[in-house]
Every structure is written in structure tokens, then in C-alpha cells.
Structure 1
Amino acid sequence: MKSPFVKRRGATPLENGASEALDEVLITVVTGDKQGAGTDSKVFVILHDTEGNSSPTLRLNNRMITNKRGQSCTFKRKAGIPGLKALSMIEFWIEKFGVGAAWFVDRFTVRILKTDEVFVFPVLRWIKPSHAHMTLTVYDLSLPQDTPEKLLPQRMTNLGTKKRLYRYTQHVPGGPAQIENLPSDEKFSEDYYWTFATEKINLLAKTKLIEWTTSKWKTLDDLRKVFNQSLGEPKCMSVWQEDWWFGLQRVQGVNPNVITACKKIPEKFAVTEETVSGLLDDMTLAEALEKNKMFICDLEITEGLPHNEKAELPSPFALFYLNKEDKLMPVAIQLKQEGGHDNPVYTPKDPSNTWLVAKMFYNCAEAQHHQALTHLGYTHLLMEGVVICTHRNLSPSHPLFKLMAPHFLFLLAINTRGLEKLVSPGGWVDNCMSQGLEGIFEHMKRGFDRWSFEREGQVEKELEARGVMDKNILPYYPYRDDAVPLYQAIKKYVSTVVRHHYDTPEKLTGDYELKWWREELVKPRDQNGVGLKDIPGNAEEGFTSVDEVVDTITSIISTCSLGHAAANFQQYEQYAFVPNYPGILFGKIPTEKKNYTEEDIMAMLPTKRMTLDIMVITKLLSSRGTKSLGDFEMQYLYDPVGVNAAKEFQKDLKRLSLEMKKRNIDRQWEFEWLDPEIVPNSISV
């Protein structure tokens, strides 16, 4: 097939043996990290320079690449363009030869030996044997309205293909938008999948020496001993009964997004001056409220959720006081929303085990909220819809696609596998969480109906909405103190790239792919959209300012990185020793201030077999599979602005990492989960 771009200055095909001095180039091709990515097909290339000249068809050798990540081959060829100084485009195609067929190409680089200039053409696509040519510009980076006219059909065809591959479904009526069928490009790489699978086998092997049965634990000491023999002791085991630890869980646990400044006690919460008398240093309740010393957690969202028939689910309030030492101390817990004779308010003045059981039931309710919303709902599943929408509406050549793509790695794959193994009938959630499968789906539905970009979508605004952004109000809040600067670093990186590509108002208004993208983000889920609320902009114009684009992209990258890291990586530390943060407690919600025995408490806890499942799954979920934030597994942006922005981002992250390590020295309890060295690029586990 003749190239539509060919224009030669008397260049002669190389096979004719021309004697004219032709400029030599080194063409390097790199195969991506996909199963079966290599090819032994015939590979052909045509180079185009900035003067409109084209090379002859250059053939590259067969049996080029293996399946290994980053495998590359370099070929020295004569370009056939006299005086070649700069390249503008590359055409390439493959013709089937031997066993290998489709080829996943990461990139081509072309070095002009005479000038030593290097031109990069990122591909990051499957190329199938065909006489049709794939043509890419340098950096393969353009807004749709700036795409060369001859390349527009290719761009539109690619989007059409993506729309067929990335299709929405709702596995749960009213639930989040999810992928109908996992595209092959989204599957785990061979290396990553193997690591993930073998890690679970290794964890199970470490617990083999323990006699796991369906019987209950007899004493807390029996339960404690099992960790020494298997997966290691969670640090909380020695302090889990302490009130100061219960306070710390609100500001640096797996669910640090519930604690709210309290100006007034809710009418449903039957707390009076007498209730908390003696628990507020020398203050009255009215004084403590007035001086911003009171904080509250309200889990009314769990009220009436379906639940395991043997495990009732609270919908509690918990009230906290910031004491003179700036420690957040629990002073009252009510386990149901409506007060009454069978719903007392528990306080530290009650018998120690009575108060302990109240804290355990509160934590059990919060664990349901954590898994349904903070973890699974507001990171994994919220972003699944965003990933699908991005593939359907932004070309791989779009700068915003390239900016977000590293943060989507393996997300659809882990969601597909996670739902299949963990959130399914008889799976981990069904067996080891009080809300069970039906409950978690209803919980997520409620949460998705409430989620707003203007609140949950942005770290700083979410903190402000809860009244805890100000350090003078809540001095010790490790989640906030680490999340905010990390969010700002991400925003700075995003802003640099976005403002470069939308440096005039016309570029923003002319970007029809961006408008399609926003339109589908806000479209209701039952109408083939993602259903996100309060995304900035409007239906007529799309995004109306560059600031709106920056905020939206920052929110997405932040959710895929720091949002998921905060909710995920300390799950073993919180959940594994079950009394500390119980995913399930058997029996009815307490209705009176009973003085519980240790035997009573042990009867509430999961069986030995369930404990094993909780330990292994939370250990697995707490492991990291992909690289640290900013150290991208796949590089998409090769243009100078993108490359320099990434380098600056990496410098900022390194500085933040050092600052966080310093802060940890003086903290009440180590909080390392938002250290950029620990935060991955994407939701991959």
C-alpha cells in the first residue's frame, strides 16, 4: 500500500543500490509489558521529515522482540532523505510471518546519526498484521483540533474501537458503572499476576502450622499467640483497648474521613452535660463545644442495611473530646441512631468491658463504611467508571489521556478479579463482614448517591467540609498533614501539563474530545455514563476554564494514588487482630450496660477459620504491587514539558517523603501510608 505522505527529492529505493549519500538513522523499537507482546512478523517503517520528505520503506528484521518488559532492538538504516535534520512523523505496519502476529509496541525512537538528535514516537498500542499503516507524530501528542487532517480518520477509528471494547454495565442495580468485559489490554502483566498469585500461596503456607478449625477462640491470649506463629503481630495488639488508641484510629486509621468538628450535639444523640461530666478536663459540654474541643463520628448511612443474620449492624454515633494534651479521647458512644431505653449512651465511666464492647461495635460499623465506601466504593469502583470513560472519549494521542493513563494501570484487572474472588456470593465480604454481600452493595449505592466532586472529590475541600482542615482546631491529624501537601504536589504537576496544552481559551473550547469526556462523566449511570455529581463546567460548554480541568484531573490522579493508599495499605495492621477493628461481630447490638466477661467477648469474634481468611486477605491487600508514585511503569509523555514536569514532580515527592519521615519521629503513632515511597501510581491491589 502506497503511503499518502510520500514526497521524495529524487530518493531511490534502497534495494536499487543508490550511490547518493544518504543520512543514516538508528531505529530502536521497544515492546511493551503485555502477555504475548512480541512478534516475528515482518515490520516496515517509513520516516517523514519536517520538510515533507519521506524515506523509502525500511524493513526491520523478523523475530524482533520477546515478551519481556522493555525489551528493545535497534536497527541501523539509511533514511534516504538527503540533509535530514528533523523528523515529523513515522509510519509503520506489520505483515504476518511465522507464528507471531499482533505486536504490542511501547515506542519507536529514531536517532539521526549526523546530528545526534533523537525523536520519540510513543505507540503503546497493539499493532496487528495489516496493510493499513499506523502513523504517529513526534511524541504522539495533540489535541483533536490540532491533529493533522490526514490523521483524523485514524484517530476517530481508534476511538470507535475503544467504544466497542470499553462498554459500561451495572452489576448491581443502582450501583457504580463497571466494565462489561475486561479488554485484553487491561489484564495483569505476566510478572505482576504471578507475584500476586504466589504471594497468597506464600501467606497460606505460613499459617499451615496452625490448627485452623471452625471453632471459636477461647481467650484473647490464644488469639494473640497465633500471630507469632504466622504473619506477624499487628502493632495495635498491645494498645487496642486504650481510649487514646480509639481516638488515633479516627485520624490515622484506614478510615480517616469520618471525624467531624462538632458544634452541636445531634438531637438523636442522647448526650447531656451529665453524660460526659468529669470527662472533659475542667470544662462543661457547652464550653467544650464553644471552644471547638468536640468532634463527632456519625455513621447513620449504615442504618437499616441488610446484614448477616447472625451479626446485627449498628448505625452509631461516637463523640470525642480534644483534651489538654491535644489527644482525641472518646467520651460517648450510642450504637443506634434513635435514642431510647434499649439504646443507652456508653461512656468511659461504664465498667471497662462494657465500654470496650461499645467501642468494638462502633469499629465494626465503621469497618463496613471503610470497605464499602472509603476503600472499594470511592477508589476502586468510582475510578473504574472514570477509566472506561477516558478510554471511550480521549484518544491515546490526547495529552490528558497520557497524563492520567499511568494511574489507571491494572485498575480494571484488580476490580474484575476482586469482585470475582472477594465481593461475590460466599466470598470474603459475604462471610467476614457484618453487612455481607447484599449489605455492601446497598451501602455503596447509598454512598454513590451522596458522592460529590465538590466535597469527596477534592482532599482539601473534603477536610474543610468536615471542619478539620484547620490545625488550630485539630492539631494532630496525620492523614490531613500528609494528604494535603501530597495533593498539592499532584496538582502542581497536573497544572504544569494542562496549562501548557491549553495556553489559549480557544484550545479549551475547541477540544471536542474533552467535552465528550466530561459529558459522559456526568451522564447518569443508567444512561451509559459514570454518574459523577458536581463535576465543574456545564452541559453546553463543557469545562469553562483551565482551572476546572486541573481540579478534575488532580482529583482523579489523587484518588488513584493517595486516596487508595490511605484506605488500603494498613488493612492488616487494623483488621488482622480482629477485636481491634472487627469486620464482623456475632450476636445482637448491646441494648443495656451489661458487664461483659472475656468469654462473652470471645463469643462475638469470628471463628478460627474466619480469622485465617481475614488475616490472609488483609495481608495480601496491604502488599504493594506497582511502583511508587511518580516512578511510572509506562511512560506516556515524552515531550519536553511533560518530561520536565515529571522530573519536577519526582523532586517534590522526594522532598515530601523526607518531610513525612521527619514528622513520623515525633508522632504519637507511626503513620507512613502517605509517604510517596509507599504510595503507588495506581489502584493495582
Structure 2
Amino acid sequence: MEVYKLTVATGTSEYSGTNNYIYVTLVGENGESERTILDNPGLDFCRGAVDEYKVCSPAPLGPLLLVRLEKQRYWVEDNWFCRYVTVEPPGGGTALTFPCYRWLIGDIKVEIREGTDGLHGLLGFPSVLMPRPRQTCIRTYVLTTRKGATLRAPYTMQYCMEHWKEDWFFGYQCLNGSNPRMIQRCKELPGNFPVSGDMVQGSLAPRTTLDKELKAGNIYLIDYAIMDGVPTNVIRGKPQYIAAPLCLLYEHPDLGLIPIAIQLGQTPGFDTPIFLPNDPPLAWLLAKIWVRHSEFQVFQLLSHLLRTHLLVEVFCVATLRQLPAVHPVYKVGVYVRVCVCVCACVRVLLSHPSLCL
């Protein structure tokens, strides 16, 4: 006969205890124990109590998989909040903890898994999700320059400060930034972006033309049309501004990906000129800054908020509603439940009429 020692902890809040019948069944890889009523002399499952019991099994159960708890009404319905169950295997092995932390309402049966992370080797979750000392969370930034030199933080920060105005570094940020999927190969220029070959000839490699580079697949376009018409905010009586630019990029054989033309609006005209690298330096720099500004808006609202937070929120809510608590995905959901709170707060803030971009 195998004897397992159990410890059952009742919640500490008001009305957590119960006088109903509580049954337990241990489930292991090799079988299940008998359905055993948990009953000691005196009162059981009082508020804040940690009660000890013994469960017998005619044969070894092997590694325990879960604990099945059942609550059955005794005289009147009395809900019970169970914090956790610990099980010490025969022979005095390491006790296993099965966290519950839920109310058992009515005649109910719940199955709880052991609390130790059982996802080792699955997508690297444990090593990513486990808290780490702050010093191990500091990133080492690596930047390979166009000359092949590899730089590491903190010198990378100084390097960025010295080269952020250069065209090749702008292309590097577009390609290695937070939203590179905005870059699309361009085989034909859109009708609302009237860039001619003569306008960008000085930015191309020798003995080539814009038409040749378009056919060769070396021209790329970033189109922020989704920003067109977005209402802006007024701060301290001053209206704010936002752009919906089109940026033409060229894969230069020596310089890498560089911008060769920028239009800050979707409708070409006198108010939306096309900026070129041979324009006055500050004008060209300001045009690139507006492109980065639009990149930031698209990333924060679409890539970050919509495609990350709001999309994950759907799966998080569905997980909490549909999956049983013993499901491995439900267990991982503990780490993303804060997403629901974040999304609720952000939704209230962004829906306020005075908080437009």
C-alpha cells in the first residue's frame, strides 16, 4: 500500500472556509488513487487553515500528473476557496505543489496540475519567462557598419549620434528598425509619386538609370498612406502636424539602402514637393525626420498596439473563457493576462476625443 501525504490550504479571505464534503483523487502516469474523502477529527477547511491528510493507493502511481478535487454539498451550499495542495510521495520524496487559487462553487470537480514549469524545451518559454537579475537583462547592441566594422554598446550609441544624419544610416534604421515590413520592392512608381529619372540620377550608381534599377529590383518604396487624413491634436492652442509620406529607397552597391526621394503627402502638388538628397542639407534632413516620425506612429498604433496588444487580448480572453485550468496554454496565459488590463486602459485613453495624434 502506497501512502501519500497531502497538505490542503484554505483561503484567508472572509468566507473562504467550508463545511461541505471534499474528496481528492491523485492521478499519476501509472493510474489513479481511490477517491478519498478528506476528513480529520474536528473542523476541516477553516479560513486560513492548512490541513494534513493521507491518501492510500494499492499500487505506485508513478510521477503525479494532477490532483482532482471534488466538493459535494453536506447540508447547505458552502463555497470553498482552495489555495493549493501539496503532495509528498511515499518514501519522503520532494513534496509537489499543486496551485489552485480558485473558488469551488456548488457540486464541482476540478483538476489542478503541479506548479513546477513543465514547458522546458517548448519554444524556450521557461528561460524567457522566468524573472532574471537586472544585470542579465541589459542588452548588448551590435551594429555592423557599411565598412564591415562591428560595434558594441556603449560605443554604438556614440556612433549613432555621429552618423544619424547620413543617408546610409537612415536606410539601416528602416531595414533594421521596429517595422521593416513597410519596405516594399517597387517595380513601377505609383501615380501619386512623380519621381523622374533625372531627379534621382545623382543618387544612383554610375552607368545606370532609374528604369534599369526598377527592373533589376533595386528600388524600394515605403508608403505611409494609412496616415493620410488622421486627425491631429491641439496642444496649448497650437495644432499638431502629421505626415503621410512616400519614401523611395535605392539599394546602392557601395552605400547599401539609401533614400533617394521623399514626398511628405499623398497628393503631389505645390504644397507637397519631392525632397531629394541634393536639396539644402537641413531640408533633406527634415524630410527624413518626418518619415521617421510617421514610422513611429505606424509602429506604435498598428504594429505594437493593434497587431500585438489588441490581437493577443483576443486569444487571452478566449483562453481564460474556454480552456480548462490544467491546459498548458492556460498556464502560459498567466504571463499575458496583464495584457487585458493594459488594453482596457489604452482603449479608454485613445478613445477620448481630446487625445488624438
- TM-score by structure 2 length? 0.68
Structural mapping, 1:386-401, within 5 Å: 386-398=315-327, 400-401=329-330
1:248 to 172, 182, 187: 172
Q: Is this contact kept in 1: 2:261–2:275, CA < 8 A? A: yes
Q: Is this contact kept in 1: 2:199–2:276, CA < 8 A? A: yes
Give the distance between the partners of 2:13 and 2:246, measured in 1 at CA.
54
More helix by share: 1
Q: Is this contact kept in 2: 1:297–1:319, CA < 8 A? A: yes
Give the distance between the partners of 1:235 and 1:375, measured in 2 at CA.
27
Give the aligned partner of residue 54 of structure 1. 35
2:5 to 26, 32, 36: 26
Give the distance between the partners of 1:248 and 1:108, measured in 2 at CA.
54
Cα deviation for residue 26 of structure 1 reads 2.7
Q: 1:82 to 1:300 in 2, by over 3 A?
A: closer
Cα deviation for residue 134 of structure 1 reads 3.2
Q: Is this contact kept in 2: 1:93–1:127, CA < 8 A? A: no
Give the distance between the partners of 1:234 and 1:412, measured in 2 at CA.
38
Give the aligned partner of residue 305 of structure 1. 230
Give the distance between the partners of 2:228 and 2:6, measured in 1 at CA.
63
1:358 to 287, 301, 311: 287
Q: Is this contact kept in 1: 2:316–2:337, CA < 8 A? A: no
Structural mapping, 1:515-526, within 5 Å: none
Give the aligned partner of residue 90 of structure 1. 68
Give the distance between the partners of 1:398 and 1:424, measured in 2 at CA.
35
Q: Aligned with 2:111: secondary structure? A: strand
**Alignment: residue pair count:** 296
Give the distance between the partners of 2:289 and 2:2, measured in 1 at CA.
75
Give the aligned partner of residue 314 of structure 1. 243
Q: Is this contact kept in 1: 2:247–2:291, CA < 8 A? A: yes
Q: 1:246 to 1:94 in 2, by over 3 A?
A: farther
More strand by share: 2
Q: 1:48 to 1:425 in 2, by over 3 A?
A: closer
Structural mapping, 1:178-327, within 5 Å: 236-282=160-206, 283-308=208-233, 310-325=239-254, 327=256
Q: Is this contact kept in 1: 2:25–2:33, CA < 8 A? A: no
The answer as to 2:263 corresponding to 1:334 is yes
Cα deviation for residue 235 of structure 1 reads 7.7
Structure having greater relative contact order (Cα 8 Å, sep ≥ 6): 1
Give the AA of the match of 1:303.
D
Q: Is this contact kept in 1: 2:25–2:32, CA < 8 A? A: no
Q: 1:339 to 1:102 in 2, by over 3 A?
A: farther
Give the aligned partner of residue 127 of structure 1. 103
Q: Is this contact kept in 1: 2:10–2:17, CA < 8 A? A: no
Q: Which has the larger radius of gyration?
A: 2
Q: Is this contact kept in 2: 1:38–1:104, CA < 8 A? A: no
Cα deviation for residue 423 of structure 1 reads 2.6
Q: 1:235 to 1:58 in 2, by over 3 A?
A: farther
Give the aligned partner of residue 350 of structure 2. 423
Provide, for residues 132-158 of structure 1, a one-character-per-residue CA deviation record: whole Å limited to 9, x for no partner: 343327679xxxxxxxxxxxxxxxxxx
Give the AA of the match of 1:413.
C
Q: 1:322 to 1:415 in 2, by over 3 A?
A: same
The answer as to 2:84 corresponding to 1:111 is no
The answer as to 2:353 corresponding to 1:412 is no
Give the aligned partner of residue 143 of structure 2. none
CA RMSD of aligned residues (A): 3.9
Give the aligned partner of residue 111 of structure 2. 136
Cα deviation for residue 297 of structure 1 reads 0.2
- TM-score by structure 1 length? 0.38
Q: Aligned with 2:164: secondary structure? A: coil
Unaligned runs of 5+ in 2: 74-78, 116-130, 132-156
Give the distance between the partners of 1:113 and 1:52, measured in 2 at CA.
13
Q: 1:304 to 1:138 in 2, by over 3 A?
A: closer
Q: 1:286 to 1:361 in 2, by over 3 A?
A: same
Q: 1:330 to 1:358 in 2, by over 3 A?
A: same
Give the distance between the partners of 2:229 and 2:205, measured in 1 at CA.
36
Give the distance between the partners of 2:102 and 2:57, measured in 1 at CA.
32
Unaligned runs of 5+ in 1: 1-21, 66-72, 96-100, 141-191, 193-232, 431-435, 438-685
Provide, for residues 239-291 of structure 1, a one-character-per-residue CA deviation record: whole Å limited to 9, x for no partner: 43222232122122233321122222222211111111120121311222233
Give the aligned partner of residue 153 of structure 1. none
Give the distance between the partners of 1:82 and 1:365, measured in 2 at CA.
66
Q: 1:392 to 1:83 in 2, by over 3 A?
A: closer
Q: Which moved more, 1:323-332 or 1:270-279?
A: 323-332
Q: Is this contact kept in 2: 1:111–1:118, CA < 8 A? A: yes
